[in-house]
Each structure stands twice: as structure tokens, then as C-alpha cells.
């Protein structure tokens, strides 16, 4: 069975673009010509209330899903037939046998371009942080979540003023998003920084708390310039 898709419901939201962060709900079946609606054994189901997130167009998911959601609009539903070469191939995986053609019904729950972004929550009145300075910071870090309140998904790390994080700015001691996002802060200031994966931990992530291609959200406070 060749690759193909059918729109079950047209979405009314924006159309997905390469690099967007997407949240999808879906059910997957083994494709069966003899089964009603070709739905053989169900091997996975992800509900709308707890969708999966991935970066579109970067190879984070099987090619059949990347190709199958292209052109969808947020709120849309689509039926996607995925042949083995665009699925799990000759080897399969723990849920899918080798050389299996798959059938998915996918709902695009949310999607957006999530770019590097800095927002000052409180402008400090002390010394300004410059490249080469040794800084003391308190911070909280979350995995960015399209659907979570204020986009604050799972917490992966935090420090406090009583146990600050010390580092030198602008020398590669931290992720690139921090070197870019903290320069210009003043002591006493607080800042929200959204950091896409290419300025954070990239395609590999940082297990166990930061998944591959994760966009990160930090709220940071500059305690001192040393």
C-alpha cells in the first residue's frame, strides 16, 4: 500500500511550517486490507488531553508522520497510510512487526513557531552583565509546552538565591541560549527566556529530563556580577 492521506476534518488554525513545535493526538493501527476501514490491530493511542509534542520537519518522528502532517492546519484531523519504508522498516519495533504498513488517524491539537525570545519580568537596577563577567544566578527551567499554563511543562532544574549557580558569561560555559539571553541584564533583574533546541541541547537532548529537540523555558534572576 503506498503512502497517502485523507483529511477527515479541515482545521481552521494556522498551517504547519518546517521547524514548528506541534502537539498531536493520534491512534495507530496495523494496516489490514480485510479489516473494516483497514484498521487492523491497534498498537498505540495518544489522547487529545495528553498529546505528543515534536518538532516538525527535523526527523524527530517517522518520515510518514512528518510527511503526513505537512499542510495540516491546527484543529484538523487526517487519516495517514504509512508504508514500511516511511514507518519502522523491515525491523519494526516492540509494537510494530517488520515490514508493516501502518494506518494513523491524527489530530493536530496545537502548533506554533517557537523562536528564541527574551522578556524582562523585572528590570534590575544594579550592575549590567557583560560577556566575560562572573555571574551568580537563581533560575527555574521547564520544558516548553504549547498547551501548559504559561507554557511551563515539566520542571527539569532549578536553583535558589541561597544556593546560586555561578558561571562566566559569554565563554561557552552554559548553553548558547543562556549566553545570548542573559547579557544585558542588571543585578536584581528577572527575565523569561525561551530557548529553541538549536540553542539548547539540540537533537540529543539531555536525559533523563530534557528530551531530544526540546524547547526550554527559563525564568532567571541575576543576583550578582562578581
Tell me which of 26, 31, 54, 201 is the catalytic residue: 201
Q: CA separation (Å) from 85 to 26, 62, 88, 165?
A: 20, 10, 7, 47
**Catalytic (active site) residue 201:** yes
> 3-class secondary structure for the chain?
CCCEEEEEECCCCCECCCCCEEEEEEEEEEECCCCHHHEEEEEEEECCCCCEEEECCCCCCCHHHHHHHCCCECCCEEEEEECHHHCCCCCCCCCCCCCCCEEEEEEEEEEECCCCEEEEEECCCCCECCCCCEEEEEEEEEEECCCCHHHEEEEEEEEECCECEEEECCCCCCCHHHHHHHCCCECCCEEEEEECHHHCCCCCCECCCECCCCCEEEEEEEEEEC
**Catalytic (active site) residue 179:** no
Tell me which of 31, 54, 104, 218 is the catalytic residue: 218
| Partners of residue 130 on adjacent β-strands | none
Tell me which of 52, 157, 165, 167 is the catalytic residue: 157
**Catalytic (active site) residue 157:** yes
**Catalytic (active site) residue 144:** no
Tell me which of 139, 144, 182, 210 is the catalytic residue: 139
Q: Is the dihedral of CA 111, 212, 52, 118 positive or negative?
A: negative
Tell me which of 43, 116, 156, 165 is the catalytic residue: 156
Residues catalogued as catalytic: 139, 156-157, 175, 201, 218
Amino acid at each position: 500500500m503506498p503512502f497517502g492521506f485523507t483529511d477527515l476534518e479541515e482545521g481552521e488554525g494556522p498551517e504547519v511550517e518546517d521547524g514548528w513545535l506541534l502537539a498531536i493526538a493520534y491512534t495507530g493501527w496495523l494496516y489490514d486490507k480485510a479489516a473494516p476501514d483497514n484498521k487492523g490491530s491497534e498498537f498505540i493511542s495518544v489522547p487529545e488531553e495528553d498529546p505528543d509534542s515534536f518538532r516538525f520537519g527535523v526527523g524527530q518522528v517517522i518520515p510518514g508522520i512528518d510527511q503526513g502532517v505537512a499542510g495540516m492546519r491546527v484543529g484538523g484531523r487526517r487519516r495517514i497510510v504509512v508504508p514500511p519504508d516511511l514507518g519502522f522498516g523491515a525491523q519494526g519495533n516492540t509494537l510494530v512487526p517488520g515490514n508493516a504498513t501502518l494506518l494513523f488517524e491524527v489530530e493536530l491539537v496545537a502548533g506554533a513557531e517557537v523562536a528564541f525570545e527574551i522578556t524582562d519580568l523585572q528590570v534590575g537596577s544594579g550592575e549590567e552583565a557583560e560577556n566575560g563577567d562572573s555571574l551568580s544566578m537563581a533560575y527555574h527551567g521547564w520544558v516548553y509546552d504549547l498547551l501548559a499554563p504559561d507554557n511551563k511543562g515539566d520542571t527539569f532544574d532549578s536553583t535558589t538565591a541561597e544556593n546560586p549557580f555561578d558561571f562566566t558569561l559569554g565563554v561557552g560555559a552554559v548553553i548558547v541560549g543562556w549566553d545570548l539571553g542573559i547579557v544585558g541584564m542588571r543585578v536584581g533583574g528577572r527575565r523569561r527566556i525561551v530557548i529553541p533546541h538549536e540553542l539548547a541541547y539540540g537533537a540529543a537532548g539531555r536525559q533523563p529530563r530534557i528530551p531530544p529537540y526540546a524547547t526550554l523555558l527559563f525564568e532567571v534572576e541575576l543576583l550578582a556580577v562578581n
